Amino acid sequence: MDELEIDAVAEVELDDPVLVEGLPGVGHVGSLAVEHLLEELEGDSTLVRRIYSHEFPPQVSVEDGVSELTCAKLHAVTVPDGRDLLLLTGDHQAQTNEGHYVLTDAFLDIAEEFGAGEVYALGGVPTGELIDEYAVVGAVSDESMLESLEDVGVEFREDEPAGGIVGVSGLMLGLGERRGFEAACLMGETSGYLVDPKSARAVLEVLAERLGFDLEYESLDERADEMEDVIGKIQEMEQQQQMDVPTDDDLRYIG
């Protein structure tokens, strides 16, 4: 296999499509969001490309006993009364700096093939603590995009995210701008410790309003409830550990 191979699975005609990237990252926010889009819009989606690369980990996924070489996938989605979508998913990002550049260029090449001129990278921004209210923080490739995203609730904060945006999401903005794309990154606040369906929903609500389509969130909410149970158990364990820490008085009686 070559270092980069792209399988053309199908060809479809799309109307002014938007590329939406959701590869794994902080809290798996972006990947959860795009997986939910595919689940909700399954009847209108078509797998159009598989992207294989030496930059992905040397492994296969296995489903019902059948293996598949690690790859990224692009689905084309026709959205009634809304913008058509190109949804980028995958289980992994590149393992090297060079690989991030090579793969992002490949993703943008495919977007151009299908006539996309706008990109939304979805991800999470870590807070380091559990949160109740989920804001969506944004970054754009051109200031002309700021107002329209602020109108749908995206927050733009000075010097945040700290350290910038790494990986494919960051390069979608940087390389996208150099290639003439309008690109934005939508990042849901998340603790960064756990898979975060609530943050994914916050990002999707903004994206849906921006691009003009409707979604149901029942399955994502169910996953959020499951994570709430996990968080509750973790908090109980932490409280128990604090109660079990010996005091100075306790230590006096240790022989």
Identify which has the larger pLDDT, 87 or 191. 87
Residue 63 lies in a domain: yes
Task: Kindly state whether residue 226 falls inside one of the protein's structural domains.
Answer: no
For residue 214, the number of C-alpha atoms closer than 13 Å in the C-beta half-sphere is 3
CATH at 36: 3.40.50.10900
Who wins on pLDDT, 251 or 177? 177
Domain-embedded: residue 253: no
Q: What angle do CA 211, 215, 218 make, to 5 degrees?
A: 150
Structural domain including 115 reads: 4-218
Tell me if 236 is assigned to some domain.
no
Give residue 254's pLDDT band: very low, low, confident or very high (50, 70, 90). very low
Tens of pLDDT along 109-152?
A: 999 999 999 999 999 999 988 888 899 999 999 999 999 999 99
248 CA to centre of own chain? 48
> Does the pLDDT of residue 190 top 50, yes or no?
yes
Mean predicted lDDT score pLDDT of the chain: 91
Q: Return the structure tokens found at 121.
A: 């990278």
pTM for the full predicted model: 0.89
In the predicted model, is pLDDT for residue 191 greater than 50?
yes
Provide the number of structural domains found in the chain.
1
pLDDT value, residue 246: 61
Residues present in the chain in total = 255
pLDDT at 255: 39
| pLDDT tens track for 22-64 | 999 999 999 999 999 999 987 789 999 999 999 999 999 999 9
Q: Is residue 101 part of a domain?
A: yes
Residue 163: pLDDT over 60: yes
The pLDDT-based confidence of 250 (bands split at 50, 70, 90) is low
Domain annotation covers residue 238: no
Q: What is the mean pLDDT of residues 151-155?
A: 97
Residue 235's CB is within 10 A of a number of other CB atoms, namely 11
Residue 234 has pLDDT above 80, yes or no: no
Please report, as a single letter, which amino acid is at residue 76.
A
Q: Which two tokens stand for residue 67?
A: 């293996």
Asked if residue 242 belongs to a domain, the reply is no
Q: What is the pLDDT of residue 249?
A: 58
For residue 24, tell me if it sits in a domain: yes
Q: What is the mean pLDDT of residues 78-92?
A: 91
Where residue 14 falls among pLDDT bands split at 50, 70, 90?
A: very high
pLDDT at position 253 is 44
The answer, yes or no, to whether residue 81 has pLDDT greater than 90, is: no
The answer to whether 53 and 78 have CB atoms below 8 angstroms apart is: no
One-letter identity of residue 154: V
